[in-house]
Amino acid sequence: MQTSNSDLSYILNHLGEEREHYLQAVSPPIFQTSNFTFTDVAAMRNSLQDELNTPFYTRGCNPTVAILRKKVAALEQAEDALIFSSGSAAIASAVMSQVAQGDHIVCVSKPYSWTNKLLDKLLKRFGVQSSFINGTDPQHYANAIQPNTKILFLESPNSITFELQDIEAVVAIAKQHNLVTIIDNSYASPLFQQPIPMGVDLVTHSASKYLNGHSDIVAGVLCGSHEMIRQIFESEYMTLGGIISPHDAWLMIRGLRTLPLRMKHVSETTEKVVEYLEQHPKIEKVYYPFAKSFPQYDLAKKQMKRATGLFSIQIKAESIEEIERFCNRLNRFLLACSWGGHESLIFPMCVLYQSQNYRSTELPWNLVRMCIGLEEAEVLIRDLEQALE
């Protein structure tokens, strides 16, 4: 059997799965237990020496979750990983692990909305300030660094308008100033972008998206070095307790088995759908990192293997009502907020126009985000055709 961690099928089919411990079952058991028992006091004491890797209490280590940690770390080419109950929990733990009162963070200007809330509202209450910068030029990061800066935060691309940061250039700036880099890599998935080999310290994902891929769990991951992951485990992970359940970890292991197939299908189908929309007279603009018209196309090609299924369009419409009619007429795209699952989705930004939680005014009212699922391109194009009519 191939035993290399860089062999994708080995990672997804075998890595971490110690079948001899559970009757050679092909699919691992769900260790649905909070607690683990010991034959004697010495064994109990011994297991506490390494709570990250020894089953003692499921908030720390659970064997089903442990299998998942190994697979996720290998996919990102990281030394280790932690799995959380949501992407937001992973991001919050990563960020909080690197700052204390009086510190400062430089973050790209349009991160995921709850990342923005974390930096701009929650951490401010604890005396941590953040500067938000455009980030399309690495110099924006350099210019915003203060003596108390601790983190350069990236989200490349973001999940609505897809601006990128030059990851290697930002890492070089961080290293010059001895700062930690954290990236939200949810858009690309570890198959299409690997920030750790580019020098990024901590990589987060909303695993609710492509990693799980079936729209049936909410989960998050955090990847990094043995040392950083152990520090975060011993502090934020164990104290905040935002862990994944064994059952959800099992679902994610199952979802991961088909990650390469799903990503291949989604990126090929999306290219066809984007090509169709780019030439449609009712489409004003397409936001898609691998479109030739995308302002950062060259950078996207340089640091990402492929683009995924997420893109946005601006529709030539006279009113929000017209946008609503377009969305309501689609049959094969579900109106829903998340992305990265088997089903195609549509999320019109005009939905945010009454919400207090989102900085909606920055997004054009005629912007609509689409996520391509596992349907055939022709079916989706036909559906778009009739709705645009």
Ligand X SMILES: Cc1ncc(COP(=O)(O)O)c(C=O)c1O
Instruction: Give the residues lining the site for ligand X (CB under 6 A).
Output: 86-88, 112, 159, 184, 186, 206, 208, 218, 220, 338
Residue positions counted in the chain = 389
Please state the closest distance from residue 114 (CB atom) to ligand X, in A.
6
Please state the closest distance from residue 217 (CB atom) to ligand X, in A.
9
Please state the closest distance from residue 157 (CB atom) to ligand X, in A.
9
Please state the closest distance from residue 276 (CB atom) to ligand X, in A.
25
Quick one: 62 or 215, whose CB is closer to ligand X? 215
Give the rounded distance of the alpha carbon of 33 from its chain centre.
28
Please state the closest distance from residue 388 (CB atom) to ligand X, in A.
26
Six token digits for residue 89: 């929990």
SS3 216: coil
Please state the closest distance from residue 375 (CB atom) to ligand X, in A.
21
Six token digits for residue 155: 């989200």
Quick one: 313 or 387, whose CB is closer to ligand X? 313
Please state the closest distance from residue 106 (CB atom) to ligand X, in A.
18
Please state the closest distance from residue 93 (CB atom) to ligand X, in A.
12
Six token digits for residue 324: 């609503």
Quick one: 112 or 288, whose CB is closer to ligand X? 112
Quick one: 74 or 203, whose CB is closer to ligand X? 203
The rounded distance, in Å, linking the Cα atoms of 77 and 73 is 6
Q: Which residues are within 8 A (CB) of 138 and not within 5 positions of it... i.e. 6 or more apart?
A: 165, 166, 169, 170, 172, 173
Quick one: 87 or 224, whose CB is closer to ligand X? 87
Quick one: 244 or 317, whose CB is closer to ligand X? 244
CA dihedral 222, 223, 225, 228 (to 10 degrees): -10
SS3 256: helix
Instruction: Give whole-number Cα distances, 7 to 1, 2, 142, 231, 314, in Å.
Output: 11, 8, 37, 29, 40
Quick one: 55 or 242, whose CB is closer to ligand X? 242
Give the rounded distance of the alpha carbon of 32 from its chain centre.
26
Quick one: 118 or 323, whose CB is closer to ligand X? 118
The rounded distance, in Å, linking the Cα atoms of 239 and 249 is 20
Please state the closest distance from residue 184 (CB atom) to ligand X, in A.
5
Please state the closest distance from residue 27 (CB atom) to ligand X, in A.
24
Q: One-letter amino acid identity for 187?
A: Y
The rounded distance, in Å, linking the Cα atoms of 66 and 83 is 9
Q: Which of 149, 117, 159, 43 is nearest to 357 (CA)?
A: 117
Quick one: 10 or 114, whose CB is closer to ligand X? 114
Instruction: Give whole-number Cα distances, 337 to 181, 299, 330, 341, in Å.
Output: 28, 28, 16, 11
The rounded distance, in Å, linking the Cα atoms of 267 and 370 is 13
Question: Residue 261 CB: number of other CB atoms within 10 A?
Answer: 11
Which residues are registered as beta bridge partners of 81? 223
Quick one: 58 or 86, whose CB is closer to ligand X? 86
The rounded distance, in Å, linking the Cα atoms of 303 and 156 is 10
Show the DSSP H helices in 218-258 as ranges.
Answer: 226-232, 238-240, 246-256
